[in-house]
């Protein structure tokens, strides 16, 4: 299973597989495999993010190559299917990556943050929020956010439900 940061509930493989089977029956997908991700800080923010995706307001996310390398997870690729879980670890949505751009953290612009939800698109909100969040994620790997830190800007489309 894909590396998940601490905080959210642990997803159950049988529940993920059942969700994946339902999604594959309902939609045409490039990928024959799925990854699992949790987007949020806590229960409330996770629910807000999931609602922003359903409404079409949030059309992408951001991944740190440093964490991918440290955990041995595969690099994201266009066409990857990602099951997004809620705070309790239950599968809620399936998204498919549509484009990926590598950019240094210090070079992130509003053109990049336009894929994020409206509440955090402004760089004066986005950068401090992501600095704090990513510093917590990077600490176990002995790293911290810097202007030259690589970031993958990942656009996606909601596939299911």
Which CATH number do you get for residue 156? Answer: 3.10.400.10
Q: What is the pLDDT of residue 40?
A: 87
Q: Can you give the pTM of this predicted structure?
A: 0.93
Contacts of 121 (CB under 8 A, 6+ apart): 110, 113, 114
| Residue 6 forms part of a structural domain | no
Sign of CA dihedral 92, 116, 122, 66: positive
Identify the residue with better confidence: 4 or 108: 108
Beta-ladder partners of 9: none
Which of these ranges, 7-16, 87-96, 141-150, has the smallest mean pLDDT?
A: 7-16
What does pLDDT average to over the chain? Answer: 94
How many domains is the chain partitioned into structurally? 1
| Residue 1 forms part of a structural domain | no
Domain that holds residue 33: 13-160
| Residue 3 forms part of a structural domain | no
Portion of the chain with pLDDT greater than 90, in percent: 88
Q: What is the pLDDT of residue 1?
A: 56
Mean pLDDT of 101-129: 97
| Residue 108 forms part of a structural domain | yes
């Amino acid at each position: 299973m894909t590396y998940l940061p601490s905080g959210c509930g642990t997803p159950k493989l049988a529940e993920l597989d059942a969700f994946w089977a339902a999604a594959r029956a309902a939609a045409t997908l490039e990928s024959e495999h799925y990854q699992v991700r949790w987007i949020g800080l806590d229960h409330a923010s996770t629910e807000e993010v999931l609602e922003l995706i359903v409404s079409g307001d949030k059309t992408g996310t951001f991944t740190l190559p440093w964490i991918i390398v440290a955990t041995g997870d595969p690099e994201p690729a266009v066409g990857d299917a990602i099951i997004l879980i809620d705070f309790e670890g239950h599968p809620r949505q399936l998204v498919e990556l549509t484009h990926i751009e590598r950019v240094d953290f210090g070079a992130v612009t509003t053109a990049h943050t336009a894929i994020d939800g409206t509440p955090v698109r402004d760089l004066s909100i986005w950068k401090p929020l992501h600095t704090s969040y990513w510093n917590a994620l990077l600490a176990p790997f002995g790293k911290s956010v810097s202007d030259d830190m690589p970031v993958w800007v990942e656009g996606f489309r909601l596939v299911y439900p």
